[in-house]
Structure 1
Amino acid sequence: MKKFYAFVLAIGFLTIGALEANGSATVGSPSPPEFVRKPTNLTVKEGQKAVWTFEISGNPVPSVSVLKNGDPIDISDRFELLYKYPLVTFRIIVVYPEDEGDYTFVLTNAAGTASQTVKLTVEKL
């Protein structure tokens, strides 16, 4: 079945979701979102790229949001969220010392919510 991917950007908040091509978000029995392959802690050098890739499941297809230290990620050219269900990739294109902290990936659908928090450590030059 073909999927249509809808990117949703809200003020000060980065989230992304997907819909079935026919406009229906649910096919079959609803199931809460979960992390099939979880993101892990990262240590990167200042100026390098930080990349988390993980696999998710859920029905309807979950939306994905990213928080840093509990706050929504501000939209900018340095942050990229790529989502082709079931794979999600979140990238910080150039890492600065102030990017160090806890990143929480939140999955949400009509059947529930799941989250996973990871730590980014930045090695200063």
Structure 2
Amino acid sequence: RRIIANIRKNVQQFIEFAKANVDNEKLKFIVDEEYLVDHIKNAELILYDDGAEKKGFIIPSKSGTPYAKNVTDNNVTLGWADAARGTEKVRKYKVMYRKVGENENETEEKWTEVYTNSNQKELIISNLPSETTFVFKVQSITAIGFSLISDISEPMETLTKKEPRTPLALKQTSSDVDVLHTKNAQITFEIDGLPRPNITWLFNGNPIQPSAKYQMEARYQIILNVNKTDFVDSGTYTAVIEYGIEKLKVPVKMTVKGNIKSLSLLIIHKYKETIICPQKKF
């Protein structure tokens, strides 16, 4: 049984090695049959180089499955184990990769091929698109030809591309705002800095949230709209800008003013009591 298993193994390796080197014009594969010696069945792989027989030739086995050593938004650093057996020294490696399609029924992507400069068992695959999944496989190259191709790697996805980071700086600040009673007011200023920072608004030191009263934007400009202002909306509005470890506060004072001729009531605050009385006519 051991002899039969060894014969099958050698034949299978011969077939796979021939398939891997089918395009190699310098390599010819010959199958020959000889008479049994002492009725012992056997199958041998023999390499002839320039007509000379090389004793003890062993077909190079396939490399280990490639794995990720490092992944960024645009490259993958691959590593793999060397061929487990073979008498021929590895000169370099061919690495093949392709994108994994979202739809398995789609026509498969063609394999892209890159080569190592020597027999190092590591390679950086560069200029890959971000947030994209790839699979990889490896094949060693010896003096006589290619080894068997490794198993396909686990899917590897490149990371999300990071936005370039620039220092935070105020480009244009907002001056104090005066607004007529019941009118809408807007506080606006511009900042430089990527990615865009987080903005929190305070009114007289207390946080305020987006609502029908307060509308906030933080895209190209930092904007706070105060709708239908009342006298109680007078005070200091502060934009707290958080940018990583940096924090910047931009206070703006807003005053709501009334038109005396148009007012019919005066609101008088005295000792925490509200007294409403008719306004005198002029």
Q: By the TM > 0.5 criterion, same fold?
A: yes
Within 5 A, what are the aligned runs for 1:75-94? 75-84=210-219, 86-94=220-228
1:75–1:119 Cα change, 3 Å: same
Structure with the bigger RCO (C-alpha within 8 Å, sep 6+) is: 1
- The CA deviation at 1:74 is 4.1
Q: Match for 1:95 among 229, 234, 241?
A: 229
Residue 65 (structure 1) shift: 1.1
3-state SS of the aligned residue for 2:232? helix
What aligned pairs does 1:59-78 form with structure 2 within 5 A after superposition? 59-78=194-213
**Which of 31, 50, 53 lines up with 2:188 in the alignment?**
53
Tell me if the contact between 2:201 and 2:209 (Cα under 8 Å) persists in the aligned partners. Answer: no
Larger helix proportion of the pair? 2
Q: Is there any run of 5+ residues in structure 1 with no aligned partner, and where?
A: 1-21
Instruction: From the superposition, tell whether residues 75 and 88 of structure 1 become closer, same or farther in structure 2 (CA, over 3 Å).
Output: closer
3-state SS in 2 of match to 1:59: coil
- Match among 114, 118, 123 for residue 248 of structure 2: 114
- Residue correspondences, number: 101
| TM-score in terms of structure 1 length | 0.71
Partner of 2:163: 27
Larger radius of gyration: 2
Q: Residue deviations 1:57-104, cap 9 Å, x none?
A: 2233201111011110144211100222x3121100110000000110
TM-score by length of 2: 0.33
Aligned-partner Cα distance in 1 for 2:194–2:211:
30
- Return the structure number with greater strand share: 1
1:46–1:123 Cα contact (<8 Å) kept: yes
Identity of aligned residues (%): 24
RMSD over aligned Cα atoms: 2.0
CA contact (8 A) 2:204 2:235 kept: yes
Compared CA separation, residues 118 and 23, structure 1 to 2 (3 A)? farther
